[in-house]
Amino acid sequence: MAASSETLRAAPCEAKNLPSYPGPSKMRDCYCTVNLDQEEVFRTKIVEKSLCPFYGEDFYCEIPRSFRHLSFYIFDRDVFRRDSIIGKVAIQKEDLQKYHNRDTWFQLQHVDADSEVQGKVHLELRLSEVITDTGVVCHKLATRIVECQGLPIVNGQCDPYATVTLAGPFRSEAKKTKVKRKTNNPQFDEVFYFEVTRPCSYSKKSHFDFEEEDVDKLEIRVDLWNASNLKFGDEFLGELRIPLKVLRQSSSYEAWYFLQPRDNGSKSLKPDDLGSLRLNVVYTEDHVFSSDYYSPLRDLLLKSADVEPVSASAAHILGEVCREKQEAAVPLVRLFLHYGRVVPFISAIASAEVKRTQDPNTIFRGNSLASKCIDETMKLAGMHYLHVTLKPAIEEICQSHKPCEIDPVKLKDGENLENNMENLRQYVDRVFHAITESGVSCPTVMCDIFFSLREAAAKRFQDDPDVRYTAVSSFIFLRFFAPAILSPNLFQLTPHHTDPQTSRTLTLISKTVQTLGSLSKSKSASFKESYMATFYEFFNEQKYADAVKNFLDLISSSGRRDPKSVEQPIMLKEGFMIKRAQGRKRFGMKNFKKRWFRLTNHEFTYHKSKGDQPLYSIPIENILAVEKLEEESFKMKNMFQVIQPERALYIQANNCVEAKDWIDILTKVSQCNQKRLTVYHPSAYLSGHWLCCRAPSDSAPGCVPWVGPAATQLCGDGAGGLGSCPALTPPPSTEACGSKSVYDGPEQEEYSTFVIDDPQETYKTLKQVIAGVGALEQEHAQYKRDKFKKTKYGSQEHPIGDKSFQNYIRQQSETSTHSI
């Protein structure tokens, strides 16, 4: 059985030509939201006083539920802090691949309440023949509204009901269900009966053989509404229309339908009236099998550090054949980190690269596999270290907002160049000292990697005394600290993109710190701008070079294990959520309250506000399970439970993505606990019993087995896995090996970048890699064939109106035809 994994990276870059505000300033304060259907999962910062706002923000998530549209809304916030929608861009799920990873301008569209729909309906129709008291034969249509799922929440609530109408040229008979309160997954299970009039030419030969023109003119229409207490009336949630001709083959019909927008003749407005939005979207879908499917390829990759030469190893080969080294580095580093093999692997490929380097000044300057793997390791292992080191200084710079422009051409009126230089010097000193005094906090795995880089560089270039420093500084300064200072929002050091003045200040600080860390002999010549060379004169003292060398010596020393850094709690995630009182007080109210939650590698706590003392703490070893909570428990969405020995803590996240993130990280941090539950209750304990199994005791064992997280994604069926690497089929690298080992002639030009030190070993490894990937591809192909056979259009998983499934059916049909 394969698990489906969907990931999304959405970047609302900028908007332009937004309509002017109907006031004296004409400017707007705008922000952009990212929505799965109508559920907001991300919001950018507010860009003030602009009709062409630049956002430049990235949002990444694993998609926790099915969706039909990825939508982007532009909002305007007025002086009374009221938000109004300017326009939207909605991309259907099946169209996302058209815009994969490329900047695209979209025209903003008007937002019409009748077009904002989501959710699906389960419906049954039955036509039966009835003889009345007078002997007249009539036919009754029974329409059963079973349930709905995934309806939108409007203004914080959803109280849905449905109207069912039998409509024709000369009739329109409507009936209505009961209102279901506080749920967006209502269970109606109501049946409505309609008399269907027969024409005179009705024939007895078939009970349901109506005349063609009559069938085409009758339809059942179902409208979903939200019962609103507002004076504006009930809100439309969506509709579906079913012609009665679906009953021509059988007297009963049952299916799931996606709700559709109401066709009310939308206003003809020019699309460019509202401006446009530039987006970059990357959407991938993978099918991941259980871990045993990947054992041969995983074991082959894990042996890479021990292969001689390392260029003949599976991991190195995959890095060479991938066009983008990053595509190989990300899964490889995660795999090696998980199994504790990342240091020997990186040491091996880095040593091989150093041996091939001719000039010590160019060491680790290219985008090689070794460089990308070290970058990815620093990103994963060093994020907390980065936050502890830089966040206080970055926050101070953003809050104090001192002018630091030192380019005479860019000085604003009233600014003084000497004062700006002094402000910038103080900021650089603050950041520089924060970095150079942080050596004891550097993660051990990074120190071990830096030690191997230093030793390999010193051994290769014995005549250059500084190469042992530059080999390390090219990563820790150039690729770790400098980018974080330059774009702090990308490293979660700031919640949003900084304003233009602060961004310029951080750019100047980043340039200076990067040059200080490089230990270059002619530092002033490192700058193209004369004003930067002048400013750098402040830092020509020997104490700065000594501080850098001491810092580099400390983080690249062998066997350094600082007990304080090991014992120090690492903050993993924090944010506001809503929790239900646990009933720890005998007479306390079990109400819901907004609290600040904080997770470290030691404990899970909540606080009244950020920075306050914790109100309650759960040690990580006391977390027995973390699972979703069924919505029916409290009629609330996006809830999950943290199960402890005495009780469960019920928490509501802000949206489905946040809920999944918290569940995933809490599960990972507690998955090694010895007392983890094997069964749990998916619903809450209320009114003296568990809602799921009705067991009366609050200590009753769970009624549903716990299912662990999906297998580590080593090789997927999409753009995100190693199995999708296009360079493996056909295998040009095997041909390169063959040509080199057989003919011993010059390498063909198309393979000139592929490193082959031992053709026979490389060829042998390639055959194993291709065999492993080929077996996985066969499993994926079989999975698709089985899924194609079992899937029914109109089922709960693929309701009628699912365009992505229709595309899938068409692709599978074409594949089957080609196979035949």
Residue 63 CB contacts under 8 Å (≥ 6 apart), including other chains: 6, 7, 8, 36, 657
How many C-beta neighbours within 10 Å does residue 639 have?
22
Q: For residue 411, what pLDDT is reported?
A: 87
From the list 443, 442, 455, the residue with the least C-alpha distance to 348 is 455
Alpha helix ranges (H) inside 382-481: 383-400, 417-436, 444-460, 467-475
pLDDT value at 538 more than 50: yes
Helices 542-555 and 500-518 sit at what angle, rounded to 10 degrees? 80
Kindly report the backbone phi and psi dihedral angles of residue 214, in degrees, each rounded to the nearest multiple of 5, phi listed first.
Answer: -75, -40
Within its chain, how far is the Cα of 326 from the centroid? 18
Q: For residue 129, what pLDDT is reported?
A: 77
Summary mean pLDDT of the chain: 82
Q: For residue 741, what pLDDT is reported?
A: 40
Partners of 71 in beta bridges? 35, 90
Q: For residue 208, what pLDDT is reported?
A: 45
Strands ordered across the beta sheet of 187-196: 187-196, 137-149, 120-131, 252-258
Q: For residue 524, what pLDDT is reported?
A: 53
**Helix or strand or coil: residue 576?**
strand
Residue range 315-370, pLDDT digits in tens? 998 888 887 888 889 999 999 988 889 999 999 999 988 888 888 877 887 788 89
Residue range 562-613, pLDDT digits in tens? 444 444 566 778 899 999 876 655 444 568 899 999 998 889 999 999 888 9
Averaged pLDDT, 439-458? 91
Ordered DSSP codes for 80-145: T--EEEEEEEEEEGGGGGGGBTS-EEEE-B---GGG----EEEEEEEEEEEE-TTS-EEEEEEEEE
**Helix or strand or coil: residue 679?**
strand
**Tokens describing residue 186:** 């209502």
| pLDDT band (50, 70, 90) for residue 216 | low
Higher pLDDT, 233 or 156: 233
Domains of the chain, residue spans: 3-109+274-284, 120-200+213-258, 369-556, 571-677, 728-743+753-816
Question: Max alpha carbon distance in the chain (Å)?
Answer: 113
CATH class of 120-200+213-258: mainly beta
What's the topology of domain 571-677?
PH-domain like (2.30.29)
Q: What is the DSSP letter of 267?
A: -
Q: Is 61 exposed, middle or buried (0-12, 13-18, 19+ CB in 10 A)?
A: buried
Q: Taking a C-beta distance cutoff of 8 angstroms, is the pair 152, 160 a contact?
A: no
Q: For residue 720, what pLDDT is reported?
A: 36
pLDDT value at 269 more than 60: no
Averaged pLDDT, 713-739? 39
pLDDT value at 738 more than 50: no
The pTM for the full model equals: 0.76
Q: For residue 203, what pLDDT is reported?
A: 44
Q: For residue 660, what pLDDT is reported?
A: 92
CATH number attached to the domain at 3-109+274-284 = 2.60.40.150
Alpha carbon distance 228, 159 (integer Å)? 8
Alpha carbon distance 645, 624 (integer Å)? 7
| pLDDT band (50, 70, 90) for residue 116 | confident
pLDDT value at 281 more than 90: yes
Q: Taking a C-beta distance cutoff of 8 angstroms, is the pair 639, 651 a contact?
A: yes
Kindly report the backbone phi and psi dihedral angles of residue 749, in degrees, each rounded to the nearest multiple of 5, phi listed first.
Answer: -60, -40
Residue range 677-711, pLDDT digits in tens? 889 999 998 888 999 999 998 888 889 887 655 43
Residue range 237-259, pLDDT digits in tens? 999 999 988 887 788 899 999 99
Three-state secondary structure of 169-210: CCEEEEEECCCCCCCCCCEEEEEEEEEECCCCCCCCCCCCCC
Domains 3-109+274-284 and 120-200+213-258 share a fold: yes
pLDDT value at 199 more than 60: no
CATH number attached to the domain at 369-556 = 1.10.506.10
Q: For residue 131, what pLDDT is reported?
A: 73
Q: For residue 663, what pLDDT is reported?
A: 92
pLDDT value at 29 more than 50: yes
Of all residues in the chain, the percent with pLDDT exceeding 90 is 37
